[in-house]
Structures are given as C-alpha cells and as structure tokens.
C-alpha cells in the first residue's frame, strides 16, 4: 500500500475544498486504526470527527474488514433489479430489527444525498399512488443540509451551496432554523427556547394549503451548519402538525443515525417517529459507500395496494451492493457485540463536561452538545467569516487532532468507541489551539 506522497496533485478536483489553498499545505492520510489516523509523515492524528461523521465503531474494525474481504472474493457484484442476493435481504431484516421494528422496509442507495432524493421521491410517488398527486410541495429548513443532489439542494437551506446551480426544484418552501445565540447559548442537550418556531409550519400550510404539500424534511440535529440542536418540544410539535395535515415527515439522519446521540437514531433520542429516515455513513462504518431509506410499512403498502402498473420506478445500479451489505451486516454485529451504544451512553457525561470546560477560552461565544457531538462557535474575525475556525482546523491538524469546521463553528463527532484518555487528548490539544489563535 502506497504510504508516500503522490507524484502530483494536479488532477484531483477535491470536493468541498479550498483547492487553491490545499496544495500549499496538504493533509494526507495514509492509514487508520481505532481512534487514530496516520498521516503521510508518520504522525498520529486523533480522529475527532469519525472521518466525516461516518466511523462510529472506530477504524479498521477487524470483523468489518474481514467481511468486506470475504464478500468481494465471493460475490463482487450482483444486480438487485428483478433479482437479488441473500445479503441484501438479510441486511434489510437486521436493519428493521435495529430500528426496533418501527419501520417496515428499507430502500438501498449509495450515499446520503441519494437517500435524501430517494425519500423525497418516495413521498411524491406515495401520494400519487393514493390518488393525491396534487401533493408535490416539499418543505425543508434554513441551515438544513441534505446533500448535493438537486432534491437535497432544493430542500437544503445553505445559500452558498445553492447559489451557483439555477432555480432548483419548484414548489419548495423552508421553515426557519431554530438557532438562537442570544437566548440559548451554552445549552447542554435541547435548548430551552424556540418551540414556537414549529408553528411556522402551520403558516406555510395555511399559505399553500395542505393538499399541495407532500413532505417535511428535517435533520433532527443539523450537523453541517454547526451542530444546531432543536429546542425542547420542537420536533414533537412538527410531528403533530404533519399528522394533522396528512404531510409526511422525513428525518435526515445521515449523521445522527447509528448511535451519534447514544440511541439507535435521533428519532429515539427525541421520542418522535418520522415516516421515513434517511441514512448513510455509519451504516457501513464508513468502509463502503452505502445509504438506506427506512420507510414505515404503510408507505410500502400503498404501492402494493395501488392498481397494477403503479410501482416505485427508482433505484441505482449499486442499490444493495453485496460488499456494502456485508460491511453493514458486520457493522450491526459490532454494534451488538461491542455494546457501542451502551459505551457511548456511559462516556457521554464525561464528554459533555469536557466540551463545556472550553467555556471562557478566547473567542468562544457558544458551546452546544448532545450525544457524542459538540459545536463550539467562535467569534468571527471582522470581515473574514470562517477564517478563525479554518485557522483552528489547520493548527489542530498540525498538533495531531482532526476537527471539522463549518463557518466559524468547530464541530466534533469522534468515533463512539472513544475512551476518557481520547477525550482528554482532544480537549487538551484543542485548548492549546484556541489559546494560541489570532
């Protein structure tokens, strides 16, 4: 395996990267095990972000590595159009078990973006199958991130991601975000203030009429825009309003699924049941690209009960790829055998105390935490939004910790197998970074 620098970095158009800046100061990872990456110079880098939120069980879990190796040798590919393979069916059953049988079916995709677009399409097709084809409107939220497909971009609420790509989907509206620094700064778990913002959904329904609205999609905790935790009671109220008007509720759990909040899904943490959950990332512990949409039984039933010819005409060549299914089956076993959720729950108070101990350090204007996630908001440098946190990210990497930044917010989401010593190392080094930041 090549562990040296690439011969050239001239051809790779890097995603979501400042391509001009990166080449001056590249960060190259060559291997990973447990809680650590190793970089090209042989330095250990503590993974404070589980890659991109996607490695809950830690890196190079032997069982997952073995399962991938075995399947790639046994069945490198098999279609799931008009045929299938046992692992795809077994995994679907295991995933339903993992949800506590709250969901009835699973549709496989290859990424979070594909899961989101799939869920939006299922919502539209479901209403149409039931003779309510007028329900085409989709509702997202400001500061929501739902991937980069045209559906996800349209319901997403990040201006910079949207502005270069034309008018996007028609018939989309957005709820306001719930972030309120003035009232909720330094909250632990769900903030106190803001439940009334759920009533904005009633306003949107009144404006467009419920008969035109297909679905609301929400990240239970917005991750990519800086760890925004919903105020107490907010998600329950959104669920009530959706029920009242026959609107489907989709939780985008691409980052919150698979234990991030110490429960199987954020839906369990908040005690609210959506009609669909979109997932990816932790589904295979990040090893092989895969996504999945969990649907309530009634959604599938609607297609089975519809007149002949009505089916969900949708799918991907790699839906239910055998190697991804093997990785996911092994991931679910690791969750059980290593009691990943129980461990996350037991270490959570230590994690939360350590995060909030950063309060009072230079530039820190807010800290929010939930499960094994934290957002640390820094005061922006005047006229240079994002520059302070980006500097923190670069310094942190040089000091041997991987953090993630979005705008002027540091987002932390390490593998759930972390121990106290990793928390101490992460926050010890981060404290130094923050103390020495311009």
Least distance to ligand PMP, CB of residue 361, Å? 27
**With respect to ligand PMP, which residue has the nearer C-beta, 13 or 82?**
13
Which residue from 255, 267, 355, 410 is in contact with ligand PMP, where contact means CB under 6 A? 255
214 binds ligand PMP (CB under 6 A): no
Q: What is the DSSP string of 210-242?
A: GGGEEEEEE-SSB-TTT-BPPPTTHHHHHHHHH
Applying CB under 6 A, does 56 fall inside the site for ligand PMP?
A: no
Residue 223 or 226 with smaller CB distance to ligand PMP? 223
State how far the Cα of 72 lies from the Cα of 391, in Å rounded to an integer. 41
- Asked if residue 212 lies in contact with residue 186, where contact means CB atoms within 8 angstroms, the answer is no
> What's the distance, CA 34 to chain centroid?
21
User: Mapping DSSP to helix (H, G, I), strand (E, B) and coil, where does residue 214 land?
Assistant: strand
Tell me: does residue 145 bind ligand PMP (CB under 6 A): yes
- Entry field: residues in the chain: 438
Query: Which residue, 129 or 217, has its beta carbon nearer to ligand PMP?
Result: 217
Residue 254 binds ligand PMP, judged by CB under 6 A = yes
- Cα–Cα dist 105/116, whole Å: 16
Strands (DSSP E) along 188-307, which ranges?
213-218, 248-252, 276-279, 291-295
Binders in 258-317 for ligand PMP, by CB under 6 A:
280
**CA pair distance 178, 62, nearest whole angstrom:** 41
Q: Which of 434, 372, 369 has its CA nearest to residue 408? A: 434
**Per DSSP, what are the bridge partners of residue 34?**
59
Q: Which is nearer to ligand PMP, 103 or 145 (CB)?
A: 145
The conformation of residue 328, written as its DSSP 8-state character, comes to H
The interface region with ligand PMP, picked from 72-80, 142-150, 191-199, 323-331 by CB under 6 A, is: 142-150
Assess contact for 251 and 219: CB atoms under 8 A. Answer: yes
CB of 161: closest distance to ligand PMP in angstroms? 11
Residue closer to ligand PMP (CB basis): 117 or 377: 117
> Which position among 51, 58, 112, 375 is part of the footprint of ligand PMP (CB under 6 A)?
112
User: If binding is defined by CB under 6 A, does position 224 make contact with ligand PMP?
Assistant: yes
Stretch that binds ligand PMP, among 1-9, 85-93, 139-147, 169-177 (CB under 6 A): 139-147
Question: What's the CA gap between 348 and 64, in Å, rounded?
Answer: 25
Sheet of 291-295: strand order equals 105-109, 291-295, 276-279, 248-252, 213-218, 137-141, 172-175
Binding residue for ligand PMP (CB under 6 A) from 80, 111, 263, 295?
Answer: 111
Q: What does the block give as tokens for 427?
A: 């926050």
From residue 340, how far is each of 95, 105, 372, 389 by CA, in Å? 16, 24, 12, 31
- 147 lies in the site for ligand PMP, by CB under 6 A: yes
When asked if residue 117 is in the footprint of ligand PMP (CB under 6 A), the reply is no
In angstroms, give the least distance from the CB of 255 to ligand PMP. 4
Nearer to ligand PMP (CB atom), residue 151 or residue 191: 151
Q: How far apart are CA 240 and CA 205, in angstroms?
A: 13
* Cα 44–chain centre separation: 26
Nearest CB to ligand PMP, comparing residues 80 and 413? 413
What does the per-residue mask of binding to ligand PMP show for 59-98, with x meaning CB under 6 A?
----------------------------------------
Tell me how far apart the alpha carbons of residues 233 and 148 are, in angstroms, rounded to a whole number.
29
Cβ nearer to ligand PMP, comparing 194 with 289: 289
**In the bound complex, which residue of the shown chain has the CB atom lying closest to ligand PMP?**
112
Q: Which of 116, 216, 334, 411 touches ligand PMP by CB under 6 A?
A: 116
Residues that bind ligand PMP (CB under 6 A): 111-113, 116, 145-147, 219, 223-224, 252, 254-255, 280
């Amino acid at each position: 395996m090549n562990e040296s620098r690439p011969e050239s970095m001239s051809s790779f158009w890097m995603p979501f990267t400042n391509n001009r800046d990166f080449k001056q100061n590249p960060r190259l990872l060559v291997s990973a095990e447990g809680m650590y990456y190793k970089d090209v110079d042989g330095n250990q880098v503590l993974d404070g972000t589980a890659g991109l939120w996607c490695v809950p069980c830690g890196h190079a879990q032997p069982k997952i590595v073995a399962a991938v190796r075995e399947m790639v040798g046994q069945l490198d590919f098999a279609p799931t159009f008009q045929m299938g393979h046992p692992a795809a069916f077994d995994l679907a059953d295991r995933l339903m078990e993992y949800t506590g049988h709250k969901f009835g079916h699973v549709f496989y995709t290859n990424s979070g973006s594909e899961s989101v677009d799939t869920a939006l399409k299922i919502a539209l097709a479901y209403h149409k199958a039931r003779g309510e084809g007028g329900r085409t409107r989709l509702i997202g939220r400001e500061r929501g991130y739902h991937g980069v497909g045209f559906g996800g971009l349209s319901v997403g609420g990040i201006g910079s991601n949207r502005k270069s790509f034309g008018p996007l989907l028609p018939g989309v509206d957005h709820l306001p975000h719930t972030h309120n620094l003035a009232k909720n700064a330094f909250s632990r778990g769900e903030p106190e203030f803001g439940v009334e913002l759920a009533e904005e959904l009633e306003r949107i329904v009144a404006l467009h009429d419920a008969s035109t609205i297909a679905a609301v999609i929400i990240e239970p905790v917005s991750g990519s825009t800086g760890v925004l935790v919903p105020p107490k009671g907010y998600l329950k109220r959104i669920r009530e309003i959706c029920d009242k008007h026959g609107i489907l509720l989709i939780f985008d759990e691409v980052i919150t699924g698979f234990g991030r909040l110490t429960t199987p899904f954020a839906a369990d943490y908040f005690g609210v049941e959506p009609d669909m959950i979109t997932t990816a990332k932790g589904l295979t512990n990040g090893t092989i690209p895969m996504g999945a949409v969990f649907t309530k039984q009634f959604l599938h039933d609607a297609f089975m009960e519809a007149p002949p010819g009505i089916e969900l005409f949708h799918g991907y060549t790699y839906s239910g790829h055998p190697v991804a299914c093997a990785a996911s089956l092994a991931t679910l076993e690791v969750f059980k055998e290593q009691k990943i959720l129980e461990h996350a729950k037991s270490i959570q108070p230590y994690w939360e105390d350590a995060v909030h101990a950063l309060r009072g350090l230079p530039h820190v204007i807010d800290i929010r935490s939930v499960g094994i996630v934290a957002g640390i908001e820094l005061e922006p440098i005047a006229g240079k939004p994002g520059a302070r946190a980006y500097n923190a990210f670069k310094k942190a990497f040089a000091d041997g910790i991987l953090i993630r930044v979005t705008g002027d917010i540091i987002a932390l989401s390490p593998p759930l197998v972390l121990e106290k010593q990793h928390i101490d190392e992460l926050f010890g080094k981060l404290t130094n970074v923050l103390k020495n930041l311009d």
